Structure 1
Amino acid sequence: MAPSLLARTLPATSRTLLRAPRTPRTPPVQARFNSDDAAVKAKLNSIAAKARVVKTLPDFSMANKVCLVTGAARGLGNEFCRAFIQSGCTSLAIVDLKEEEAEHAAEELIKAACVDSEMEPSDYRVIGVGCDVSSELSVQQAFRRVMDTYGRVDSVVASAGIVENYSAFDYPFDRIKRLYDINVHGAFFTAREAARNMIPQGGGSVVLVASMSANIVNIPQPQTPYNAAKAAVKHMAASLGVEWAKKGVRVNTLSPGYMLTKLTRTILAHDQELKKTWESLTPMGRMGEPEDLAGAIVFLASDASRFMTGAEIRVDGGYCII
């Protein structure tokens, strides 16, 4: 329809809508304050200084919590300890197979915590405890020491574990048994002793460290017993989470993907093709840094996850999605 005909068919009020709108006059912008005014600048600087202060949801704080981490002299377990210290924890038990290594790790952790900090070494009560997690008696003794030292335990992480790569036909039985004794039985003994001490005090948080291998089959390396063990740990956490839910003890799982620990870096330094394969299979295109797990472990161990039990958090760069 021609524009002239369209205009004749519309009422007068509608025709006015077809006219090009007038460009409104923009009033001159007036400064609300003089930017050169010293008082204003001082006020803005004061606001900026307050805004720069780190603010964290209080429930994420680990202050006044007694934490225990197994397999913590090195690797991911040690990274979890650092995360707890950075989140305010001052009472921590580093548990590992060799007590001298656990004690050395405790000393190093305290030293690092006091760098660029107002805290003094005497402000921390970090101890190293020797423990073979595959032994129920050894785990019981470790918890007894922690309870004697601190009087309570609030957050426990079962991080001790090993991985080996044998084909299914070549896997020696004694190595399979050792892997299950540490990765599965050790996680169970740790969780059970934690709950025994937490229930009388009103509850606590237990985190079992599994792996993305609990959900997928890793390639190209063969590791069937390890994958099955981590799947067992994941379901163990879910089962214990239900069993102890009304007793105040929460049990959750943290499942890391491929992480660049010192040990992994050493291994991959001699096998760059394996590193490229792992990275190519990860949607984010890289392996994880140990500190990438800090937020997740603090969330699970703190009151921020107080209505969460029997759940799994995967930190794998998207590996399990595809």
Structure 2
Amino acid sequence: MTTIAPTPLSTQATPALFSLPHCTVIVSGGGRGLGLSVARGCLEAGAHVVGIDLLSLPTEPEWSECQAIAKASGLRLSYHVLDVSNAEAVDVTFAKIFKEAPEHAPIKGMFLAAGVPSSLSVLNSSIEMWRKVFDVNAAGSFLCCKAFAREWLDRNKVDGSPGAGGASIVLTASVAGHVANRQIPCSAYSASKAAVIHMAKSFAAEWGRLGIRVNAISPGYIKTVMTAGIVAARPGYEEAMVNSTLLGRASTGDEYRGPVVFLLSEASSFVIGADIVVDGGHAA
């Protein structure tokens, strides 16, 4: 009788596939909101976390709560101030992060949440505003991915096989990169996020066989401090966004911990160049 040898993942229990042991994950936008929520999820999954953000200090009490989780689990949580649109600063910071990662927990994952919104119509938009949005949302993602890949590939020579010790990058796109936002004018933001969706596919094509999987998530409307300003300035916007979803509500940052940890973990070992829409049915 012909027998089939165990596969690299067949010897692991399913819950273990969703864990992030013996690794460090970089989280951009990790000082608040979505990024900080996902940073917590990574810590809870067993990863050391390095947060990077433009904020001089991460928001409280969420950061202290994450520190408590890290301490209780014997994990490291650190923070670097970084403008992801500054090419030189990104290269220097990523080189430092990779160099300082624990030997027993090397860098294996990255989640990019840093971004800026825009809520101006085309006729009220300046080219300077468009460039700022693209500098952070698109160019910032490009710079971080490039720096991550350069540092990781210099240290690792593996293929894309499951269990081979590869890396995973997860970019944050948006449902607005898939469909026009009829609730609010945000063409610059939408176009930048559409670019991110295709960047995930293109980067995956370049690095997949070298051991780096690249995917994206496309969130719907999230209640955060950043979106609160847009809501306050536009009466009726939140209600319109909520009514556009099949669930009839907005999301919270915590609802993205699961999808991101899935994409960072071995549970998604055959998922690459994908974009997971997590929008409450807004685009359905």
Q: TM-score, normalised by structure 2?
A: 0.85
Task: Answer whether contact 2:109 2:169 (CA < 8 A) is retained.
Answer: yes
Q: What is the CA deviation profile of residues 33-64 of structure 1, one whole-angstrom value per residue up to 9, with x for unaligned ones?
A: xxxxxxxxxxxxxxxxxxxxxx9621111121
CA distance in 2, matches of 1:263, 1:168: 21
- Give SS of 1:101's match: coil
Task: Answer whether contact 1:134 1:186 (CA < 8 A) is retained.
Answer: yes
CA distance in 2, matches of 1:142, 1:102: 21
Q: Which residue of 2 aligns with 1:134?
A: 85
Task: Answer whether contact 2:36 2:63 (CA < 8 A) is retained.
Answer: no
Quick one: structure 1 residues 92 and 138, their matched pair in 2 at CA, closer, same or farther if it must change by over 3 Å?
same
- Give SS of 1:213's match: helix
Q: How far off its partner does 1:209 sit?
A: 0.5
> Do structure 1's residue 172 and structure 2's residue 118 form an aligned pair?
no
Runs of 4 or more consecutive aligned structure 1 residues displaced over 6 Å after TM superposition: 102-105
Q: How far off its partner does 1:263 sit?
A: 3.2
Q: Which residue of 2 aligns with 1:234?
A: 197
> Do structure 1's residue 187 and structure 2's residue 150 form an aligned pair?
no
Q: What is the CA deviation profile of residues 169-216 of structure 1, one whole-angstrom value per residue up to 9, with x for unaligned ones?
A: 110221111111100000001111111122232330011100011100
- Code of the residue aligned with 1:84 in structure 2: it is C
- Give SS of 1:178's match: helix
Quick one: structure 1 residues 214 and 267, their matched pair in 2 at CA, closer, same or farther if it must change by over 3 Å?
closer
- Code of the residue aligned with 1:137 in structure 2: it is E
Q: What is the CA deviation profile of residues 70-129 of structure 1, one whole-angstrom value per residue up to 9, with x for unaligned ones?
A: 11100101111011011112x210001134338997544212555xxxx26xx2211111
- Code of the residue aligned with 2:273 in structure 1: it is G
Question: Where does the alignment leave 5 or more consecutive residues of structure 1 unmatched?
Answer: 1-54
CA distance in 2, matches of 1:68, 1:220: 33
Task: Answer whether contact 1:278 1:287 (CA < 8 A) is retained.
Answer: yes
> Do structure 1's residue 64 and structure 2's residue 18 form an aligned pair?
no
CA distance in 2, matches of 1:112, 1:75: 17
Quick one: structure 1 residues 224 and 148, their matched pair in 2 at CA, closer, same or farther if it must change by over 3 Å?
same
Q: Which residue of 2 aligns with 1:31?
A: none
Q: Which residue of 1 aligns with 2:67?
A: 110
Quick one: structure 1 residues 245 and 99, their matched pair in 2 at CA, closer, same or farther if it must change by over 3 Å?
same
Q: What is the CA deviation profile of residues 198-251 of structure 1, one whole-angstrom value per residue up to 9, with x for unaligned ones?
A: 223233001110001110011221111111100000001001101111101000
- Give SS of 1:191's match: helix
> Do structure 1's residue 221 and structure 2's residue 184 form an aligned pair?
yes
Quick one: structure 1 residues 146 and 139, their matched pair in 2 at CA, closer, same or farther if it must change by over 3 Å?
same
Percent identity among equivalent residues?
31
Q: Which residue of 2 aligns with 1:73?
A: 31
- Code of the residue aligned with 2:182 in structure 1: it is I
Q: Which residue of 2 aligns with 1:313?
A: 276
- Code of the residue aligned with 2:95 in structure 1: it is R
CA distance in 1, matches of 2:225, 2:83: 22
Q: Which residue of 1 aligns with 2:51?
A: 94
Q: Which residue of 1 aligns with 2:6?
A: none
Task: Answer whether contact 2:43 2:69 (CA < 8 A) is retained.
Answer: no
- Give SS of 2:57's match: helix
> Do structure 1's residue 196 and structure 2's residue 145 form an aligned pair?
no
- Give SS of 1:57's match: helix
- Farther off after superposition, 148-157 or 236-245: 148-157
Equivalent of 1:143 in 87, 94, 97: 94
CA distance in 2, matches of 1:98, 1:138: 15
Task: Answer whether contact 1:102 1:130 (CA < 8 A) is retained.
Answer: no
> Do structure 1's residue 210 and structure 2's residue 168 form an aligned pair?
no
| Higher-helix-fraction structure | 1
C-alpha RMSD of the superposition? 2.1
- Code of the residue aligned with 1:100 in structure 2: it is L
Whose relative contact order is higher, 1 or 2, with alpha carbons under 8 Å and at least 6 apart?
Answer: 2
- Give SS of 1:169's match: helix
Q: How far off its partner does 1:269 sit?
A: 5.4
Task: Answer whether contact 2:200 2:214 (CA < 8 A) is retained.
Answer: yes
Q: How far off its partner does 1:264 sit?
A: 2.6
CA distance in 1, matches of 2:82, 2:76: 19
CA distance in 2, matches of 1:173, 1:143: 30
CA distance in 2, matches of 1:106, 1:126: 9
Quick one: structure 1 residues 241 and 149, their matched pair in 2 at CA, closer, same or farther if it must change by over 3 Å?
same
The structure with the largest alpha-carbon Rg is 1
- Farther off after superposition, 73-82 or 138-147: 138-147
Q: Which residue of 1 aligns with 2:163?
A: none
